[in-house]
């Protein structure tokens, strides 16, 4: 077994492509600022169109030409050298960096053919599973009929389900006899794109499962929960068999109605675009991936985003996808505030403290996802996902990633999965 490494030969090839693209992009940004300032427009208003001319334009064209020439040379040389070094095992640190990079730039990496783009796999112990009966039986010696699929969140990977020595999947295998399988995917792609591929992957998995499948359950953290809902939709539309085996979906801090951090990034783009002098800088905000912008409203389907400028501020025009029919759905929300359940119905007992915590729950929640969004609650009745009261739960003084390791969170997950 080769020793895990932080840097693979393919990484040099991949990062050289990114560096070339970054220099070209930065050159375009600087030229746009130069052009706008030279045009002396009004402080607020329409941004002048076009590029710089004359000697100035020649300089910028030369920089882009040299960048393409150098980048092409590096691409050709490294492309020939990489195969000579052979395959390497990836270290957890490298896996974490790649997951974060894919979360931010994953759609671009895929579109540009960059080897750093993560391909969707089902994994166990960080290793891809070959989806045929013999290979699965060999890779999973204790395989059973109770299947648990774990889907990670944005900028994360399957190895990061283990946090502070605890892994929900491994613990549920030990306590309840599940066979846990982990989804590994490029979280920078559109949620609907990943959802459709996830649906097909699950269909292949169940067809190749070495023993009869008694039940299928999904545990989704953050974006992983949105993928589960999207996958169920596309699977039922395609007539797949696995939705009939799906018994329960547990959502951990899933932003069913969007995440305010992405909305904040969108406001920054709009503000920078108000002035011709700062408009080129708004391009930096548009580096973020399709996966991130889908979180603005919790987009799950192609029609939610197709044909729209995903960086333009607009209301949520997509229709609400209901929870999967015939599936028991559970939602766990977290908040960094202290528990004030005894004050919620009696705000006059401590109006300042109650208001403060309600504000934290509404705006901050677990640091990324507000409580209402995680519980699928919405002021508009038709958008409310209406989780049954006994299938909702809030954990206090808990951050978004703490949902992966808190004992009380695991106890709740175990309880729900053990219920008949």
* CB of 190 closer than 8 Å to CB of 108: no
Q: Please tell me the predicted confidence (pLDDT) of residue 12.
A: 57
Q: Please tell me the predicted confidence (pLDDT) of residue 321.
A: 93
pTM of the model: 0.77
Chain CA centroid to CA 313, Å: 21
CATH-assigned architecture of domain 121-258+319-418: 3-Layer(aba) Sandwich (3.40)
* CB of 282 closer than 8 Å to CB of 272: yes
Q: Please tell me the predicted confidence (pLDDT) of residue 187.
A: 95
C-alpha distances in Å from residue 253, one per residue of 152, 296, 330, 336: 11, 15, 11, 12
Q: Where are the alpha helices (DSSP H) in 239-350?
A: 260-272, 282-285, 290-294, 302-305, 341-344
Cβ-based neighbour number of residue 194 at 10 Å: 28
Q: Please tell me the predicted confidence (pLDDT) of residue 275.
A: 46
Low-confidence ranges of the chain (pLDDT < 70): 1-88, 261-287, 310-317, 339-364
**In angstroms, rounded to a whole number, what is the distance separating the alpha carbons of residues 64 and 52?**
14
Q: Among 102, 26, 96, 28, which Cα is nearest to 290's?
A: 102
Q: Among 269, 362, 258, 372, which Cα is nearest to 304's?
A: 258
Burial of residue 123 (number of CB atoms within 10 Å: 0-12, 13-18, 19+): middle
User: Cβ neighbours of residue 35 under 8 Å, at least 6 residues apart?
Assistant: 48, 50, 51, 52
3-class secondary structure per residue, 214-251: CEEEEEEECHHHHHHHHHHHHHHHHCCCHHHCEEEEEE
Q: Please tell me the predicted confidence (pLDDT) of residue 6.
A: 53
Place of tokens 């390497």: 88
């Amino acid at each position: 077994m080769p020793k895990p490494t932080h840097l693979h030969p393919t990484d040099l090839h991949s990062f050289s492509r990114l560096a070339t693209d970054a220099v070209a992009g930065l050159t375009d940004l600087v030229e746009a600022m130069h052009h706008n300032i030279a045009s002396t427009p009004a402080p607020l208003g329409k941004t002048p169109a076009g590029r710089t001319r004359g000697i100035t334009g020649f300089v910028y064209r030369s920089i882009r030409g040299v960048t393409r020439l150098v980048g092409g040379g590096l691409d050709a040389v490294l492309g020939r050298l990489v195969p000579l070094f052979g395959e390497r095992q990836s270290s957890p640190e490298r896996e974490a960096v790649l997951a974060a990079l894919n979360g931010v730039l994953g759609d671009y990496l895929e579109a540009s053919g960059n080897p750093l783009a993560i391909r969707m796999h089902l994994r166990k112990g960080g290793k891809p599973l070959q989806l045929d009966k013999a290979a699965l039986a060999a890779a999973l010696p204790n395989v059973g009929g109770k299947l648990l699929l774990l889907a990670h969140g944005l900028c994360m990977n399957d190895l990061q389900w283990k946090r502070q020595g605890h892994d929900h999947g491994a613990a549920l295998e030990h306590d309840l006899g599940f066979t846990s399988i982990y989804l590994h995917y490029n979280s920078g792609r559109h949620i609907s794109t990943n959802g459709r591929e996830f649906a097909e992957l699950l269909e292949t998995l169940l067809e190749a499962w070495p023993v009869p499948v008694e039940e299928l359950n999904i545990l989704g953290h953050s974006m992983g929960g949105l993928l589960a809902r999207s996958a169920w939709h596309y699977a039922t539309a395609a007539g797949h068999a696995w939705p009939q085996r799906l018994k329960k979906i547990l959502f951990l801090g899933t932003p069913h109605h969007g995440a305010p951090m992405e909305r904040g990034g969108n406001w920054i783009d709009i503000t920078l675009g108000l002035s011709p002098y700062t408009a080129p800088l708004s391009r930096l905000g548009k580096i973020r991936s399709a996966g991130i912008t889908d979180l603005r409203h919790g987009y799950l389907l192609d029609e939610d985003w197709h044909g729209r400028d995903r960086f333009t501020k607009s209301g949520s025009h997509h229709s609400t996808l209901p929870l999967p029919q015939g599936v028991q759905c559970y939602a766990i929300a977290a908040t960094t505030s202290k528990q004030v359940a005894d004050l919620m119905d009696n705000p006059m007992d401590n109006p300042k403290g109650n208001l403060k915590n309600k504000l934290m729950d509404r705006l901050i929640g677990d640091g990324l996802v507000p409580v209402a969004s995680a519980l699928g609650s919405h002021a508009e009745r038709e958008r409310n996902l209406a989780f049954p009261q006994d299938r909702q739960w809030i954990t206090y003084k808990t951050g978004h990633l703490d949902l992966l390791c808190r004992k009380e969170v695991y106890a709740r997950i175990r309880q729900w999965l053990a219920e008949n």
